[in-house]
């Protein structure tokens, strides 16, 4: 789909879903280069998402119930091929891919209502995640879905420590400041009446931006981003 057509759809979408002071910035292209992709076994599992609260910013301003009440199931994506063993039995081979599947699971443990593709990559030895949508059709009660509804990409700085994962999403406001101060000279579009920012730069330029500013707190204060979550192991409550 051509960029102009996508931007028209995004304009309508942003107008329908409403505007907010806090959104996760989105890009039409991935934030990573293939050479920077990595895998982290520790990220796999079933997690409970909790909002990382910031002073003077109520949690319910932007995060929806779906983001925090649903289980976050993260697993390495794999292709499967069927074959017949020498003994004549059906068997399956698994071929791990370079990305992860993130599923937001509600009351039914076997049904994922929302799915995301997650690519982990490193820049300046820091871990980042590129989230993009997969088969999402419902918008209600989720900032994640509203920010990722079309085939766009969102960026997060990720830290993994023992039984805790912190996910700091790059916000629309921070990106606007970088561009407004003429630090990040990067292709972008402002979506009409919504004032939402969409990055249109290629992966090499987005990677260059991360290399320049991702590690400098005075430009991107990841821990101060309003769109941040803490993931802790999901524990089933026994009756």
Number of CB atoms found within 10 A of residue 134's CB: 17
Asked which of 9-23, 29-43, 184-198 is least confident by mean pLDDT, the reply is 9-23
Number of CB atoms found within 10 A of residue 202's CB: 16
Most confident of 13-27, 56-70, 175-189: 175-189
Position 1 confidence tier, pLDDT thresholds 50, 70, 90: very low
pLDDT average, residue stretch 105-128: 82
Give the Cα-Cα-Cα angle 208, 210, 216 (nearest 5 degrees).
125
On the question of pLDDT at 81 being above 70, the answer is yes
The conformation of residue 7, written as its DSSP 8-state character, comes to H
Position 111 confidence tier, pLDDT thresholds 50, 70, 90: low
Residue of higher predicted confidence among 77 and 134: 77
Instruction: Quote the pLDDT of residue 19.
Output: 38
Q: What does the alpha-carbon distance between residue 37 and residue 44 come to, in Å, rounded to a whole number?
A: 16
Q: What is the pTM of this model?
A: 0.80
């Amino acid at each position: 789909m051509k960029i102009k057509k996508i931007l028209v759809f995004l304009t309508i979408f942003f107008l329908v879903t409403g505007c907010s002071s806090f959104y996760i910035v989105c890009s039409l292209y991935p934030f990573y280069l293939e050479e920077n992709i990595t895998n982290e076994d520790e990220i796999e599992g079933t997690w409970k998402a909790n909002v990382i609260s910031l002073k003077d910013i109520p949690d319910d301003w932007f995060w929806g119930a779906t983001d925090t009440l649903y289980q976050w199931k993260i697993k390495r994506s794999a292709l499967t091929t069927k074959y017949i063993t020498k003994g004549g039995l059906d068997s399956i081979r698994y071929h791990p891919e370079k990305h992860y599947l993130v599923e937001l699971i509600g009351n039914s443990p076997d049904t994922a209502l929302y799915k995301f593709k997650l690519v982990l990559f490193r820049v300046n030895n820091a871990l980042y995640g590129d989230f993009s949508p997969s088969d999402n059709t419902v918008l209600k009660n989720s900032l994640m879905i509203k920010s990722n509804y079309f085939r766009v990409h969102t960026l997060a700085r990720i830290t993994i420590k023992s039984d805790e994962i912190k996910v700091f999403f790059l916000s629309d406001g921070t990106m606007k400041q970088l561009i407004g101060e003429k630090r990040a000279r990067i292709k972008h579009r402002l979506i009409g009446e919504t004032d939402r920012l969409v990055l249109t730069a290629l992966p090499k330029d987005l990677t260059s931006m991360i290399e320049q500013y991702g590690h400098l707190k005075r430009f991107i204060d990841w821990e101060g981003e309003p769109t941040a979550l803490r993931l802790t192991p999901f524990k089933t409550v026994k009756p």
